Structure 1
Amino acid sequence: MTNHYLLQATDVELIANLFNYFLIVAGIIFALVIFYTFFYLIRYGAKRRPETPSQVEGSERVELILAIIATTITAVFVYLTINTMEKVQDIPENPKPFLEITGHQWWWEAKYPESGVITANQIYIPTGKKILLKLTSADVVHSWWVPELGRKMDMIAGVNNYMWMYAEKEGEYLGTCSEFCGVQHARMRIRVTALNPKDFEAWQQKQLLPVVTSTDALFLEGKQLFEEKTCTNCHAINGTEFKQNIGPNLTHFASRKRFLADMKENNEANLRAWLTNPQAVKSGVKMPNFILSDSEIDALVAYINGLK
């Protein structure tokens, strides 16, 4: 591979290497402690030497050697830690992020500044490219962590944090919010899909297309309800007059595999349950219960499922 970034270790590899160094040294020290504990228990045990052994008050030489060893180990790991930190936090002075992630209670907003794509809980990146992320929060403190793609980074309202993310292979990479952010913290999951650059660009261009409209009566009824029930006060849909971006962007919602921060599979049954009583599905969410009738739910499901 000719990518310059691939000529170096990735951030994940750098952190993993540092951890392995700590683990090896800690393992050696642990093994020595265990060895000498049993060695002296056996050698100077009461059964072997019932008489009182000679008492040694101390040894300046041994103490000096141990102090030098401890100081050297500490100094080496201070150097390795600072060196690793400098490499993984190599952020340019005027960062231009490829992807902006905003944490909400309890979902993820993803914005691609260059193309203008905005989506929710559906995060795609190209493989073989070092991705600069801008991370922030819309409310409480969250923390972004996809272990296979990069390190952990806190997301704080009013503060822009940056980190690198990299995927070498295509596939889905799972992560989670790793800072307690409320009652649904455990269900604030992350799913990042890595595509080859060509497929990623195709996905991105598809996201920019307006939603497919329909002349079906139930679809049109659902669209009208979407406006009447004030769903438009929170949700944007590209290609329509609905522009508010408070709640998740619903453009092409029907093409997403999962929703509610990767909590539920995107199917009619789960969508129906969500619209019937959001708090019963994910308690504490800001989506209100509109107390919809069965016919209204049928129409809204038809409309939202038609956003392809």
Structure 2
Amino acid sequence: MTDTAVHQTEDPPAPEPPGWKRPEVRSIALIWLVLTIVGECLVWIPSWLMGPSASTQMDDIKQTMTLFTAMSAPVAAVIWAIMIYSVARWRYTGDEPPEDDAPDFRTNSPVVLLWSILSGVLTLVVFIWGMLKIAAIPAAGGLAALPAGAMPPMVVEVTGNQWVWNFTYPELGNIQSDVLYLPLDRTTLFDVTSADVIHSFWIVEMGVKVDATPGQLTKTDVVPHSIGSFDVRCAELCGLLHAAMETQAKVVTQEEFDAWAQDKGAEVPIEPAAQEEGGA
């Protein structure tokens, strides 16, 4: 009797399903979808935390913050979804280190291509949005965009000193004040500098925040649209009494502003429209 060796061959392993059909991919996609929906529903929170708006500049800042948060929510959700699924599904609970190494990572060309395209589109949107906002800033050369009939911008020279702010109105005979008075709905151009150390001129509710540097002039602008008193602070550590370097920005009507300037000894210029009415 001849012994015959019986060779049993194992069935070849079944081919892996396409990436999108794999259970872990579907689970991660579901987690990503839920997190994205939650994130998009909460995009208003960063803008809300910034407090009330008192100028068109602050409106633009809050609008930009909301847009960027909405755009970043799906991207952040991808990272969180992978992390949550990995921790929940593949965590190791043994007392000793695992004997098996983790599986090798393999690239996926379609995913890499899709991710590159989406990243490029997001970057392009952010770039275009930023350039449009910069082009609309009067201090950056956007004064031609002022509506017809609008009053010309008013210049205010801002000087930081340890530890007070000084505001000079060159068009009103160089009157000075330690409280910033601004007319409602009129563009104001700030020429900001410092007499000693570096400060940072910050009108909190108006979204104005620029450095005040000795020997340099920094320009910015604001169009206040709310009447009231708003905080002006120094946002750069400038010495012992830095925290006390505060004052107020008071937004009033044009008539109230003219009356305040006259009380300070200024000769308030008559607007062309008023001259025509007087001549008539």
TM value normalised by structure 2: 0.62
Secondary structure in 2 matching 1:110: strand
Aligned CA RMSD, in angstroms, stands at 2.9
In structure 2, the partner of 1:189 is 246
Deviation at 1:207, TM superposition (A): 1.1
Secondary structure in 2 matching 1:80: helix
Aligned counterparts of 2:138 and 2:184: Cα–Cα separation in 1: 20
Q: Is the 8 A contact 1:125 1:194 kept in 2?
A: yes
Question: What is the correspondence of 1:107-122 to structure 2 with a 5 Å cutoff?
Answer: 107-122=164-179
Task: Spell out, residue by residue over 1:14-67, the C-alpha distance to the aligned partner (whole angstroms, 9 max, x if none).
Answer: 2222222222222332223222322344455569xxx99975522122122222
Aligned counterparts of 1:134 and 1:92: Cα–Cα separation in 2: 14
Pick closer, same or farther for the CA change 1:96–1:156 going to 2, 3 Å.
farther
In structure 2, the partner of 1:126 is 183
In structure 1, the partner of 2:130 is 81
Q: Is the 8 A contact 1:117 1:208 kept in 2?
A: no
Paired AA for residue 79 in structure 1: I
Alignment coverage as a number of residue pairs: 199
Secondary structure in 2 matching 1:114: helix
Q: Is the 8 A contact 2:182 2:252 kept in 1?
A: yes
Aligned counterparts of 1:144 and 1:91: Cα–Cα separation in 2: 18
Aligned counterparts of 1:154 and 1:97: Cα–Cα separation in 2: 20
Question: Is 1:208–2:257 an aligned residue pair?
Answer: no
Secondary structure in 2 matching 1:204: helix
Q: Is the 8 A contact 1:172 1:193 kept in 2?
A: yes
Paired AA for residue 148 in structure 1: E
Aligned counterparts of 2:224 and 2:79: Cα–Cα separation in 1: 41
Paired AA for residue 183 in structure 1: L
Aligned counterparts of 1:137 and 1:42: Cα–Cα separation in 2: 56
Aligned counterparts of 2:104 and 2:160: Cα–Cα separation in 1: 63
Aligned counterparts of 2:110 and 2:142: Cα–Cα separation in 1: 50
Aligned counterparts of 1:53 and 1:178: Cα–Cα separation in 2: 49
Pick closer, same or farther for the CA change 1:117–1:41 going to 2, 3 Å.
same
Match of 2:158 among 101, 104, 109: 101
Task: Spell out, residue by residue over 1:173-232, the C-alpha distance to the aligned partner (whole angstroms, 9 max, x if none).
Answer: 1121112222221111131011111111111111118xxxxxxxxxxxxxxxxxxxxxxx
In structure 2, the partner of 1:152 is 209
Secondary structure in 2 matching 1:98: strand
Question: Is 1:135–2:192 an aligned residue pair?
Answer: yes
Aligned counterparts of 2:206 and 2:122: Cα–Cα separation in 1: 30
Unaligned runs of 5+ in 1: 1-8, 210-308
Match of 2:68 among 13, 22, 27: 22
Q: Is the 8 A contact 1:127 1:197 kept in 2?
A: yes
Structure with bigger gyration radius: 2
Aligned counterparts of 1:53 and 1:142: Cα–Cα separation in 2: 53
Task: Spell out, residue by residue over 1:64-121, the C-alpha distance to the aligned partner (whole angstroms, 9 max, x if none).
Answer: 2222222222222122222222222544599975211111111111111122253342
Paired AA for residue 108 in structure 1: W
Question: Is 1:68–2:117 an aligned residue pair?
Answer: yes
Pick closer, same or farther for the CA change 1:52–1:117 going to 2, 3 Å.
closer
Q: Is the 8 A contact 1:12 1:147 kept in 2?
A: no
Q: Indicate the percent of aligned positions where both proteins have the same amino acid.
A: 25
Aligned counterparts of 1:53 and 1:139: Cα–Cα separation in 2: 60
Match of 2:223 among 141, 166, 172: 166
TM value normalised by structure 1: 0.57
Pick closer, same or farther for the CA change 1:17–1:206 going to 2, 3 Å.
same
In structure 2, the partner of 1:262 is none
Secondary structure in 2 matching 1:199: helix
